[in-house]
Structure 1
């Protein structure tokens, strides 16, 4: 049948991977926000892990640099879907 989509796997397996990725994203988002924003606002810490995160500049600068890349990626995704639909 034209236009029908088949499931990529058994429903239980795809449901597991969906919840797995949601859980991983829910864990890493607060950690990234802490490393990029919150840790810079806290006073210096005696904990070596938190002190290393506070002194790190990579993630602090990654946030503004990733936004233009994200906009371009979203635009190219939209453009490719339009070209695919109207081809």
Structure 2
């Protein structure tokens, strides 16, 4: 049940954000690089983002999903903000099971 809900949530989020990302092709390469760098920096700080979607648009980063520990919510946001090119972080993470 949890997997089904998570998959459904992921599809809904991706379906609403993907068209907006593809509409602006000029910054998509740098946005993808920022998304990658956010994941790498989070891993360096010990935060696993395996259940997290990272979206970037013009340097504005959104984190959606869940992390295993409550402390990881804040650490993910802080590590994302520390990445070069990130102008803001919308941290929508929750602590999962």
Shorter-chain TM-score range: 0.3 to 0.5
Taking structure 1 as the reference length, the TM-score comes to: 0.36
Report 1 or 2 for greater relative contact order, CA contacts < 8 Å, sequence distance ≥ 6: 2
Taking structure 2 as the reference length, the TM-score comes to: 0.33
Bigger strand share: 2
Bigger helix share: 1
Rg comparison, structure with higher value: 1
